[in-house]
Structure 1
Amino acid sequence: MKSGKELERFEELQDLPNDSHFLKPYLLQLRQKAEQEAVLRDHLDLSENFLIRFLRARDFDVDLSLKLLINYHRWRKECPEITANLHVSSVLGLLQNHYHGVLRSRDASGSRVLIYRIGQWNPKDFTAYEVFRVSLITSELIVQETETQRNGLKAIFDLQGWCFAHALQINPSLAKKISAVLTDAFPLKVRGIHLLNEPLLFHPVFAMIRPFLPDKIKQRVHLHGSSFAGSLCHFFPHSILPPEYGGAGPGLEEVCQEWTRFIMQSEDRLHQLSTDGYPEKGCLSVKQMKSF
């Protein structure tokens, strides 16, 4: 456990820009350690823009950052059914059906807020692996944002419309892969998971996923039921939530359409990720990120 002074120092590091000379020693240490790992040496981009994500995700603890980097590599290699095809065309039907969006504004802590509408997923048309690929696409895009690296994300899952056909798609193998990304295989901090309109049929599926989650993630899962209007506002500003969730922000369809356009504008980046399995050097241009 880190001391108070160590935590304060790591918080100060988080506030620094990526090109700060104070971050250089951590980046150098992580690169040197990564180059000594056979599984990483010939496969991953070890540029500063890439490595900083892992350092921020683990509060600049170099050893923990290295472990996360290795897990990220292994997860991508072991889950080709999810990671090998990040082309927009592979999930365009889901996106156009307004299944997923990212709120225009961040919450009070600076976290990105992601929304998933399970009722818009037709299990006859898309498998759970394709549905999870939507999450990976969004994660690979928002992880490039420094503010998201610092403050992480929160996800709202609207389970209205969840049915037996959805439940049949989730097996223990997929549950383990999902939990890996939530815990120690992707360089983003999950600050909260909020479930709305969860039916009784969903609870066995959640019971399958829950054992794979560490305690800190379990504590960040909030079940709101159908009376979410009174509880969701305790976690998110009224001004950013869609009207459908009791807020004054843009509506769900507008949110989903905006994010779909942004994903489509990122096709070149996603093509690169699909081609070689790993991020190319550098990040999206500032112009492209500001287009959303």
Structure 2
Amino acid sequence: MALQHESIDLGSPPTEPSPSAAHSWFPAPPPPIYTCTLTPELVAKAREELQEKPEWRLRDVQALRDMIIKEQPNLRTRLDDAFLLRFLRARKFDYDRALELLLNYQAGRKAWPEVFHDLKPSTVKHVLDLGFLSVLPNPDPNGRYILCLQPGKWKPNDYPFVDNVRALYLTLEKLIQPEDTQVNGIVILADYTGVGMSQASNPGPFLAKKVVSILQDGFPIRIKAVNIINEPMIFKGIFAIIKPFLKEKMAERYVLHGSDLRSLHRNIPPSVLPQQYGGIAAHLDMAAWSRVLLDCEEEFIVEFCQPDPLEGVVLPDDAFLDGDSAGGQDEDTFRALRSQLYYCY
């Protein structure tokens, strides 16, 4: 029943980006062994805004890892450096709050199986083809990618609303991979053109609360602004459903522009906006983000569509020992080994 530990390939990454993904306009997935990719400017920004000290970064990751192993021994989660850094950065290197966020992240995956079961891009291709969401190819001057939502394109008779949530979650998972995003955060642009009573009455308060809980309490991403444009009169009713679940800080980041593009441009410059929003960038290509996600199908299968990665696997007894006990290997080399093992945890 038990497998030999040699079956774990420690010399190769858990996933390999497809050739098409490697040539995408969006950054490729990070390697399994953490290497900082932040520019000196972003290192300084992370230090100032997130209390991230480069010289203590991996020490802080190890401290969070130790907390998880000690306080949550039954939690099945990745423990590699790059993954845990997302949660530390999202909570400004507060260990307790980072652990709470991680627990919420994992609890959400278990509590909402209709969202997370068999979660991969091909299962939401109809959402992507419809244009319900996309990501603009150029970040804003603050380095933040812009997630563009067009809820008016969805009709309740097309497919269940939960499919939109699935596509949104996959998008967030992809957006949070680059370290730039972990430091800079993202901006949401929601165009409510075409939204009527049928969309407003669906999903309802219960589903709305679950979506909001993912965005502000259950996912390691910093949402810096939510720009609403072309909102109909009925949007007041929609926002009345959402607002009770928003924290004050998040509610203050909602900006309603109506049809005033000049107001929008004060928040998102025309240089990165497509033509339909008064910008000078190319017309919004709804298929571009779809290609990014679909090119990463195998990556998401590994992340969301596999059984427990350690089921039946016996790891070597010394796999998680300190570098001094690792048969003479130097600390950096052993950290690389542990990072790959923790990825499989």
Q: The TM-score by the shorter chain falls in which range?
A: 0.7 to 0.9
CA distance in 2, matches of 1:206, 1:277: 38
The residue identity in structure 2 corresponding to 1:81 is E
Identity %: 34
Letter of the 1:234 partner, please give it.
Answer: R
Correspondence for 1:137 among 170, 176, 179: 170
> Aligned to 2:234, what secondary structure does the other structure show?
helix
Q: Secondary structure at the match of 1:124?
A: coil
TM-score normalised by the chain length of structure 1: 0.85
Instruction: State the distance in 1 between where 2:308 and 2:271 align.
Output: 37
For 1:237, give the aligned amino acid. Answer: P
Give the 3 Å change call, closer, same or farther, for CA 217–245 of structure 1 in structure 2: same
Report the CA distance between 1:246 and its aligned residue: 0.7
Q: Highest CA radius of gyration, 1 or 2?
A: 2
- The Cα shift of 1:105 comes to 1.1
How much has 1:163 moved relative to structure 2?
1.5
Which structure dedicates a bigger proportion of its chain to helix? Answer: 1
Instruction: Give yes or no for the alignment of 1:109 onto 2:142.
Output: yes
Tell me if the contact between 1:163 and 1:201 (Cα under 8 Å) persists in the aligned partners.
yes
Q: 1:37 aligns with which of 71, 75, 99?
A: 71
Change in 2 beyond 3 A, CA 1:103/1:15: farther
1:11 counterpart = 2:48? yes
Aligned to 1:238: 270
Among candidates 277, 283, 305, match of residue 275 of structure 1: 305
Work out the CA distance in 1 between the residues paired with 2:231 and 2:46.
Answer: 40
CA shift in 2, pair 1:13/1:25, >3 Å: farther
Cα RMSD (Å) of the superposition? 2.4
What's 2:279 paired with? 247
- TM-score of the two chains, using structure 2 as the length reference: 0.73
CA–CA separation in structure 2 for the residues paired with 1:174 and 1:214:
17
Aligned to 2:185: 152
Instruction: Report the number of matched residues.
Output: 269
Partner of 1:188, secondary structure, is coil
Superposition pairs of residues 1-292 of structure 1, within 5 angstroms: 10-11=47-48, 21-38=55-72, 41-227=74-260, 229-252=261-284, 254=285, 256-276=286-306
Distance 1:142 1:135 in 2: 10
Please name the residue that 1:286 is paired with: none
Provide Cα deviations, 1:140-179, integer angstroms capped at 9, x if missing partner: 1111110000011111111111122212222221111111
Per the TM alignment, residue 278 of structure 1 is displaced from its structure 2 partner at its CA by 9.1
- Residue type matched to 1:34 in 2? I
- For residues 223 and 167 of structure 1, what CA distance do their matches in structure 2 show? 17
Q: What runs of 5+ residues in structure 2 fail to find an aligned partner?
A: 1-43, 311-338, 341-345
On the 8 A contact 1:10/1:60 being kept in 2, the answer is: no
Name the residue aligned to 1:288.
Answer: none
Aligned to 1:239, the other structure's residue is in SS state: helix
Q: Deviations over 1:184-239 (max 9, x none)?
A: 11000010111111112222121111011111101100111122x11111011211
- 1:245 Cα shift? 0.4
Q: For residues 161 and 46 of structure 2, what CA distance do their matches in structure 1 show? A: 41
Secondary structure class of the residue paired with 1:138: helix
The amino acid that maps onto 1:84 is H
